[in-house]
Amino acid sequence: MRVFVIIPAAGIGTRMAAGGMSTAAPKQFLEVGGVPILIRSLRTFLSVPRVDAVCVAVRASERERVEAQIAAYKLGARVHMVEGGENRQQSVWNALSALECEDDDVVLVHDAVRPLIDAKTIERTIDAIESHGAAIVGMPAVDTIKQVERTADGAIITATIPRERVVHAQTPQGAHFSLIYRAFAEAEADGFSGTDEASLMERAGIQVAVVPGSARNFKVTQPGDLELAEFYAGGSTWE
């Protein structure tokens, strides 16, 4: 059994730009502690000995930039690249289709823009996939969760969801290759679009376990998130 990691990194970062921050680069290429966000994510996965290879999905126009960064940080041998798609799911599907996997190999998918993932959480996710077939990292909810209906006058509460029954889905998310591939193939055939791997596996009837996540493993999305990431990174430059 081998472990493959897919890192979708083909987003264009519209929310970061919409927040008033003019960025020449999509958020996965911005730096935290002097190290590009994608490189931080990549490097943590490569630090896990059980990881055999990482496949990064990038836009064709970013390929050279990513190749140069990978070379500069000497991450070469276990890293491959595929072209990203129009949305996250399509980027992951392109990578899944390119992998040469056996059915029982483990595939993990991790958002490039969660640069503060740690090796222990990655290990725990792989262990959970080995024992349950599929698993994701999730953060227990601490706030009270409301279901709302969006109206022209704003959001109106329709229900309160018991928070002990809620987790915030993070990444990595993954499964044995046969399961995650089937879930993506079914979604593709049905024209279903989801924002994470678990939603595709759930609709394919696959049970997905949850491994505890952490606040550090947040998704760099909006202006202000970079400062938070710098704070959590604590000045580490990884040199």
By CB under 6 A, name the binding residues for ligand C5P.
Answer: 8-11, 28, 57, 84-88, 91, 111-113, 221
Q: How far is the CB of 195 from ligand C5P (least distance, A)?
A: 6
Q: How far is the CB of 218 from ligand C5P (least distance, A)?
A: 11
Nearer to ligand C5P, 91 or 121 (CB): 91
Nearer to ligand C5P, 133 or 171 (CB): 171
Nearer to ligand C5P, 132 or 219 (CB): 219
Q: How far is the CB of 110 from ligand C5P (least distance, A)?
A: 8
At 32, which amino acid appears? V
Nearer to ligand C5P, 10 or 175 (CB): 10
Provide CB contacts within 8 A for 173, sequence distance 6+.
108, 109, 110, 125, 135, 136, 137, 196, 197, 198, 208
Instruction: At 207, give phi and psi (nearest 5°).
Output: -75, 130
Instruction: At 26, give phi and psi (nearest 5°).
Output: -60, 160
Q: How far is the CB of 99 from ligand C5P (least distance, A)?
A: 15
Nearer to ligand C5P, 57 or 135 (CB): 57
Q: How far is the CB of 104 from ligand C5P (least distance, A)?
A: 26
